Amino acid sequence: MGDQLMNWLIAVLQTILFVALAPLLAGWIKCCKCRLQNRKAPSIFQPYRDLIKLTHKQPVVSEQASWLFIKAPYIIFSATVLAATVVPLIAIDLPTSASADVIVMVGFFAFARFFLALAGLDIGTAFGGMGSSREMTISSLAEPAILMAIFTLTMTASTTNLSFAISHVLNEGLILRPSFVFALAALVLVAVAETGRIPVDNPATHLELTMIHEAMILEYSGRHLALIEWASQLKLMLYGVLIANIFLPWGIAETFGIQALGYGLLAIMGKLAVLAVILAIAETLVAKMRLFRVQEYLSFAYLLGLLGMLSHIILEASR
Amino acid sequence: MILVLAYGAVLLSFASGLLAMMMNQRQHILDLSRYWFKKFPSANERCQPFIADSLEEKQFPVLLRQTVFVLLGLSGVFAVLAGLSVLIGKVVVTDQLSLGLPWLPWHVRFDCLSGFFFLIVGIATTAVSLYGSGYVNSYDESQHPFAVLGLFTGLFVAGMLLVLLADDAFFFMIAWELMSVASYFLVAFQHENAANRRAAFIYLLMAEVGALAIILGFGVLASFADGFTFSALRESHLSTTWASIAFMLALLGFGMKAGIVPVHVWLPEAHPVAPSHISALMSGVMLKVALYGLIRFCFDLLGDVHWQWGVVLLILGTVSALGGILYAMMQTNLKRLLAYSSVENIGIIFMVLGLSMIFMANGHPQLAALGLLAALFHAFNHALFKNLLFLGAGIIHHQTHQLNIDMMGGLIKKMPKTSVLFLIGCMSISSLPLFNGFVSEWLAFQAALQVDVLDNGVLRSLIPVAAAALALTAALAAACFVKVFGLIFLGLPRSHHCEKAHEVQDTGMLAGSSLLAGLCFLFGIFPGLVISLINNVAGQLLGETLPNDAALGWLWLAPVSAKQASYAPPLVLIGAMIAGCVSFWYLRRDPATAIRTAETWDCGFGGLTHRMQYSSSAFTMPFRRIFAKVWIIDEQIDKDMQGAMNQDVAAVHYKLRIEDHSWPRLYHPIGHGVNKLAQVVGRIQTGNIRVYLGYSFATLLLLLWVIS
């Protein structure tokens, strides 16, 4: 019983850590990007300051807004936090990862997106509708691709539980599987699209021709905006952790000692820092795509996922 | 006891139908009651004023309507009880009714599979009967008589229940036809519109062609058996070829009723024109009865399933699911949209059923049980949320006299209760976690991911692709229902009717919808309740249940093993509430940051109008562009020019027509073919009596020659 309690405690702590570290990652990416673009970088703690500033402001809500508009940020934030409980950050075998598997995690993202899109439609401005429409289009193409990539992994590990899948990869040791390479590529492409980064969406712009995510949240201010921003930072970090911990899980804690957990934390922070640098370089080198090229981009991701699946079935399955 | 409940359900629905016929017989009832009470003078004094009071001119229709729907509701409750008792008891009850032809008594069998579908019919009927009496109020009695509506509703429900009870091919077909024909009259209820008559005719035509295919399917089976009872059909041993022919016939027949692409075309025609509570029954329940027929035919009567059949189901299901949701997305008529979305959901069910068949044929009955479980659970869920959405559509139509979602908007403030109920329906159908639609989809994914056990390489690569198509379907469904909810309830009102709309007053209409919404949420959090019942169905039908019964507790859902996948919706709910409450409490504690309302930001131009919002066609434009080949799109933009040299644009007219490929590709050629054939046959009809006599003479000679 005591053990059980301890496990739950660690799981909750891990989730809090997840939520707390997300703005740091966003700050780090921004910092790297600025350096690469020869600009002076803000402090990597700037996102925290922004969030605190927003929570202290009085939110302005349109007269047209319904309850859905005001509640949606809380729902979006909670759904994203729930998704974070599923993904092992510093340790595996936590009880929260058994309460929901990776398909449920994708479901949580869908949940958050559903309300975000509805909130975009709530005020009745053209921008909101445009953002919702585009977001739903992109996500409906991205979801099969991400599931395809994930299915490749789960079929190799024969489990959809992320914790077990990661320990399977750990036990197998470093084997270069062609299916994993394809799945990794697919997952990276989808992660970029889903988190609204260049080349699919540009988080730093407010130009109506290009914006997707920003168009939906244009009407939000104050704490509502803070929650939505935080949720999207959390989502970015979630995808980063997913990629880092599934494909390169080494360093993650398998026991719950202080030392192991500490190493786990250091390992994931190191991995994320490297991933962030790669993302910053990519964003600096690549230009944003036209909206209707995104489908080609995402079908390419889907194709990679499919190739991964086929190579698993043809080359790797033990029959 | 169980059979008494089941018969009770059937009889009560008959009774409700017959009672509705009394609508125009007020005077006769009054006379009859006077005549009877004359014999009992003591009772006369006490009862006569009461009867005269309740049978008063104004009160009578209301009372009768309520009684009819109470009877229908009781029938639903009885059906639920019958279904539950057989599912919990895991029993099989058989009986013989001395109805029908003397040498062909009707055989009745009530097992877990029938019981489960009884449960579906029962829940839906109960909800509809709560809803119905308020809804039918809006019909003008002289034009749309309640007697017709009530009678055929009763017969329709009774027909569906009898199909589930039938244990011989004759009885099955009689009940099937009762169901089809009664629902034809319901579709044709508002027959003053030519479009409605056409829709009803298409429905009847397809229902009858489907019935023919089913009869032929039974015929193939019966030719290898002695007799038409299901127990005799079960004993028959068919060669693979004949079994496949029987399967294809059954698939055509039941698929036509269920609405599989490409034989789905009656659905989007018939559902929008029927009264909403009838569309709810047809879409939520009747399609499931067709599904029952297919499951009964393939898994029970044919016995040994072949994996090729599974592949056929899988492919047809995938096409239907994707096609259904893509067509649904383009619709602007709410009920038409929901009808196409039924095609999608039936597609998902067929897909999973195909998986189950493939596993069964390859000797993995436990995984087949998982597939069957996912299929049946999705059927159950679809019955709940599609009923809910149709009832919601009915409320919206009742209050705004509109079904075009491009003319709605802003109803969330006008109709707060309806909007919450509708939102729950939208969230369930978009398969979001915490709601029931997600659980069945999750189970379907789990079944598809077990593909590694199969030996056949083609199957092993086909099934994951189907799973990815399922993921695409789910994502598109979410997009579609964001559009539906967003355009109907959010934003600014797009028409005068919507601006003046208000919440529905009738508590029954809200109660019926709330019942379904509550169940959607309940079974999203505690799916184990239903799954353990379905497990008994799988046990009886496939002889195998899910591996670990203990893992199917109320808290955890672990269909294969805890190590492979698990989902604990109650824990997720608790987690969501904690996260939501903490953030809510933390951020709201400072009174200085109270919400301030202001005008919507209009970029400084002023005067935002409802015309500036995204419309249905605007919302779906990216999809139209990406999946352009799926529809026949006819898009026209005309500009009215004015001013010097006609250079200024005065007005822009935008026309968009989107059509189904199946009409020009499949049905019009068939129609042309039939016409051509008729012309050819018509040539021998000269209209000249001498020629006809010649024909008779020639026929006579031919027959004589044949005999001799």
State pLDDT tens for residues B487-512.
Answer: 999 999 999 988 899 998 889 999 99
Rounded to the nearest 5 degrees, what angle is found at the Cα of B202, between the Cα atoms of B279 and B166? 65
Distance, in Å, from the CA atom of A255 to the CA atom of A110, rounded to the nearest integer, reads 32
CA distance A82 to chain B (A): 7
pLDDT reported for residue A154:
84
Inter-chain residue contact A158 with B583, CB threshold 8 Å: no
Instruction: Let me know: does A91 contact A253? Beta carbons within 8 Å.
Output: yes
Shortest CB distance from B593 goes to which of A161, A223, A291? Answer: A223
**Helices (H) then strands (E): counts for chain B:** 29, 5
pLDDT (mean) for B398-417: 92
Instruction: From B79, B85, B151, select the one nearest B122 (Cα to Cα).
Output: B79
Q: Which phi-psi region, left, alpha or beta, contains residue B544 (left: φ > 0; alpha: ψ -120 to 50)?
A: beta
Cα A96-B582-B479 angle, rounded to 5 deg: 70
C-alpha to C-alpha distance for B37 and B318, rounded to whole angstroms: 64
- pLDDT of B413 > 70? The answer is yes
Bridge partners (DSSP) listed for residue B659: B632
pLDDT at B607 over 80: no
Distance from C-alpha of B532 to C-alpha of B119, rounded to nearest angstrom: 14
The per-residue pLDDT for B600 is 86
**What are the structure tokens assigned to A217, written together?**
């949240």
Give A277→chain B minimum CA distance, Å.
31
| Structural domain spans, chain B | 306-586, 627-660, 663-707
What's the distance, CA A220 to chain centroid?
21
Chain B interface, mutation test: which of A4, A53, A78, most B Cβ atoms within 10 Å? A78
According to the model, what pLDDT value does residue B177 have? 95
Question: Model confidence at B64, in pLDDT bands (50, 70, 90)?
Answer: confident
Check whether B50 has a pLDDT greater than 70: no
Sole residue written with tokens 């955890």: B556
- Bridge-based pairing state of the strands A60-62 and B596-598: parallel
- The whole-angstrom separation of Cα B629 and Cα B516 is 37
Mutating which of B626, B627, B629, B630 best tests the A interface, going by the most A Cβ atoms within 10 A? B626
Residue B43 banded pLDDT, cuts 50, 70, 90: low
Residue B191 CB coordination number (10 Å): 15
Q: Please, what's the largest Cα pairwise distance for chain A?
A: 64
Contact check, Cβ <8 Å, B563/A74: no
Taking CA atoms, what residue in A is nearest to B621?
A: A133
Mean pLDDT of B138-159: 89
Percentage of residues in chain B with pLDDT exceeding 90? 59
How many residues does the structure list for chain A? 319
CA distance B477 to B484: 10
Residue A22: in which H helix or E strand, if any?
helix A2-36
Dig out the tokens for B561 from the structure: 């093993």
- Alpha-helix residue ranges (DSSP H) falling in B501-615: 507-525, 528-542, 569-588
Q: Complex ipTM, two decimals?
A: 0.95
User: Residue A201: phi, psi to the nearest 5?
Assistant: -140, 155
Q: For A70, which residue in chain B has the nearest alpha carbon?
A: B595
Q: Higher-confidence residue: A287 or B390?
A: B390
- Taking the C-alpha atoms of residue A58 and residue B441, their distance in angstroms, rounded to an integer, is 41
Q: Which residues pair with B658 in a beta bridge?
A: B633
Span of A35-49, B78-92, B248-262, B596-610 with lowest mean pLDDT: B596-610
Mean pLDDT of the B77-105 span: 89
CA-to-CA separations, A221 to A80, A206, B438, B585, in angstroms, rounded = 19, 15, 32, 18
Residue in chain B lying closest to A230 (CA): B583
- 3-state SS class at B545: coil
Q: How far apart are the first and last CA of chain B?
A: 61
Contacts of A139 in chain B (CB under 8 A): 475, 478-479
Q: How far apart are CA B152 and CA B185, in angstroms?
A: 7
Q: Select the residue of A68, A79, A98 nearest B490 (Cβ to Cβ).
A: A68
Q: Show residues of chain B in contact with A99, CB under 8 Å.
A: 566-568, 571-572, 575
The answer to whether the beta carbons of residues B540 and B113 sit under 8 Å apart is yes
| Residue A40 to chain B, least CA–CA distance (Å) | 31
- Check residue B236 and give its pLDDT: 86
Task: With beta carbons under 8 A apart, name residues in chain B contacting A310.
Answer: 461
The position carrying tokens 């997009």 is B479
Do the chains contact at B622 and A133, CB–CB below 8 Å?
Answer: yes
Separation CA A41–CA A31 (nearest Å)? 5
Confidence of residue B25 (pLDDT cuts 50, 70, 90): confident
Residue B554: pLDDT band with limits 50, 70, 90: low
Q: Check residue B548 and give its pLDDT.
A: 58
Q: What is the 3-state secondary structure (H, E, C) of A223-273?
A: HHHHHHHHHHHHHHHHHHHHHHHHHCCCCCECCCCHHHHHHHHHHHHHHHH
Task: Give the domain range for residue A142.
Answer: 2-316
Neighboring chain B residues of A148 at a CB cutoff of 8 Å: 464, 468, 471
Q: In B, which residues are within 8 Å of A114 by CB distance?
A: 427, 430, 432, 478, 482
Which of B193-197, B317-321, B483-487 is least confident? B193-197
Running DSSP on this structure, what letter comes out for residue B644? G
Which amino acid, one-letter code, is at A183? A
pLDDT of residue B315 exceeding 90, the answer is yes
Distance (Å) from the C-alpha of residue B652 to the closest C-alpha of chain A? 18
pLDDT of the residue at B550: 44
Rounded-to-integer distance, Cα B222 and Cα B228, Å: 6
CB-based contact B212:B267 (threshold 8 Å): no
pLDDT mean across residues, chain B: 89
Query: Which uninterrupted H or E stretch holds B108?
Result: strand B106-110
Min Cα distance B559 → chain A (Å) is: 12
The minimal CB distance from B412 to the residues A66, A81, A310 is found for A66
Structure tokens at B615: 């419309």
- The low-confidence residues of chain A, meaning pLDDT below 50, are 319
* Close Cβ partners of A111 (under 8 Å, ≥ 6 residues apart): A75, A79, B432, B433, B434
Q: What would the two tokens of residue A309 be?
A: 């699946």
